[in-house]
Amino acid sequence: MLAIKIWNYFKGYVIIRVEGLTLERLLNLAASHDIYLWDVKRINNIVLEMKSTTRGFKELKKIVKKVGCRVEITNKTGFPFLLMKLRERKMWVGGFLLFWAIIFFLSSLIWKIDIVGNEQTPREEIISLLKNNNITVGKIKYRLDKEDIKDLLIENYDYFSFVSVNIKGTKLTIEVKEQDLPPERVDKNYPCHIVAKKKGVIVKVVPKNGKAVVEKGKVVNPGEILITGIITSEFGGETHLVHAEGEVLALTRYSSIIREPIVKNEERFTGKTFTQKGIKIGDKGIQFMKGDIPFENYKEFVEEKSLINLEKYDIDFPIKIVTYEYREVELKEVKQNIDFLKNANQIAATKEINKELPPNAQIQSKNIRHQIDDNILTTQVIIETIEDIGKKLIINNRED
């Protein structure tokens, strides 16, 4: 019934008033003429009020004459009549459309540019770079190409390891990840702090500019300020910002743990194979079973082949023939020489640490510990070094 009501609303319907004495007859005739009437209300002895479609009303008029009643329209409702009404109120309709147009237009502009993660690059520099490439507040967001912005930033700053560009609503967010720069390369026109890039125990602080805030022997965590660029004068209490520079040497610790089983299972193919076929349509597959796999230990190799080869045309045909191949393997327990294993572990762990070590670090000590638990040999290598852990962080990079 609701569907019919919605349909009637779109086609438009009329509320009519019928006056007469033989109203029941009128209703019966209307029903037999397939005129759809609904919400028939008895107002008083000689008056009925009802709803009818516009077409139904026209047909009803003919019947009304036959029966000898009088009919009049009291109200017209529905979409076509609404349109007619609106046609008389052009300014109102215009205002309504203008309102939505303005809302749509304003919400398709960029109103704010946010840059996140720039520790060594001044915010103003990125903004001006974007400005030179015609990306500013007030541009239409659909015209901006995220990939272009990404490429632009990566081309201009070779030490950006990751750039992500996001447009959410009217805000353009650029997120960058920087590699640690050598301190000389940070722009000296901007005030900065020197912060710790890793955990360590301070050995020596040599500030060239700015004021050291840590002392020898202090344990610092990543991100902690070592040499501040905010200087408070001794008398007035006024502060001013400087570009902090200096060397902060700290004792840092690297450790690496490697676990290796002493008795190892080695796998070897015996050469026996067992194959099964299947069909794959889209993501769903059917495997034709040909009995159980006759091996205890095996490895499964799956190969897919399109039913019709369309690779030339760059089309991935959705129906594929799948070959499942099972190759038998033989397990063999091999006991390894412990001394040999200790040596191998130690080399592997040291290699791992070497990857992390900065080139100018001085190695202070190296510690190796071996431990045997059940079947597993655990080797821990700890290397202590002295290195410069300072990293420049530009002050007030954020807008807020």
Partner 1 sequence: MKKKIENMKYNISEAFELPRDIIMDLPKLTVLGDKEASLLNHKGIIEYTKETIRVNTKSGIFKITGEDLEIKTILAEEIIIVGRIKNIEIIS
23: contact with partner 1 by CB under 8 A = yes
Tell me how far apart the alpha carbons of residues 77 and 85 are, in angstroms, rounded to a whole number. 10
Residues in the chain: 400
Q: Which stretch binds partner 1 (CB under 8 A): 24-32, 219-227, 338-346, 367-375?
A: 24-32
Tell me how far apart the alpha carbons of residues 320 and 338 are, in angstroms, rounded to a whole number. 50
Q: Minimal distance in Å, beta carbon 64 to partner 1?
A: 16
Q: List Cα–Cα distances, 287 to 11, 128, 327, in angstroms.
A: 56, 61, 17
Tell me how far apart the alpha carbons of residues 70 and 16 are, in angstroms, rounded to a whole number. 10
27: contact with partner 1 by CB under 8 A = yes
16, 37, 69, 202: which one binds partner 1 (CB under 8 A): 37
Tell me how far apart the alpha carbons of residues 308 and 319 are, in angstroms, rounded to a whole number. 8
42: contact with partner 1 by CB under 8 A = yes
5: contact with partner 1 by CB under 8 A = no
Question: Rule CB under 8 A: which of 143-202 touch partner 1?
Answer: none
Nearer Cβ to partner 1 (8/346): 8
Q: Which stretch binds partner 1 (CB under 8 A): 34-42, 170-178, 200-208, 256-264?
A: 34-42
30: contact with partner 1 by CB under 8 A = yes
18: contact with partner 1 by CB under 8 A = no
Q: At CB < 8 A and 24+ separation, what contacts does 345-354 make?
A: 345/258, 345/260, 345/370, 345/377, 345/379, 346/379, 346/381, 348/258, 349/256, 349/257, 349/258, 349/379, 349/380, 349/381, 350/256, 350/381, 350/383, 352/256, 352/258, 353/254, 353/255, 353/256, 353/381, 353/383
Q: Which stretch binds partner 1 (CB under 8 A): 28-36, 174-182, 322-330, 344-352?
A: 28-36
Tell me how far apart the alpha carbons of residues 210 and 242 are, in angstroms, rounded to a whole number. 6
38: contact with partner 1 by CB under 8 A = yes
Question: Rule CB under 8 A: which of 44-73 touch partner 1?
Answer: 48
Residue 309: half-sphere exposure toward Cβ, Cα within 13 Å: 3
Question: Rule CB under 8 A: which of 260-279 touch partner 1?
Answer: none
- Give the number of other Cβ atoms within 10 Å of residue 293's Cβ: 14
9: contact with partner 1 by CB under 8 A = no
Element (H or E) spanning 32, and its range?
helix 23-32
28: contact with partner 1 by CB under 8 A = yes
Q: Minimal distance in Å, beta carbon 65 to partner 1?
A: 20
Strand partners, 298: 328
Q: Minimal distance in Å, beta carbon 48 to partner 1?
A: 8
- Give the number of other Cβ atoms within 10 Å of residue 389's Cβ: 26
Q: Which stretch binds partner 1 (CB under 8 A): 31-39, 185-193, 316-324, 338-346?
A: 31-39
Strand partners, 259: 378
Q: Minimal distance in Å, beta carbon 35 to partner 1?
A: 9
Nearer Cβ to partner 1 (23/377): 23
Using CB under 8 A, count the residues that bind partner 1. Answer: 17
The residue ranges that bind partner 1 (CB under 8 A) are: 1, 23-24, 27-28, 30-32, 34, 36-42, 48
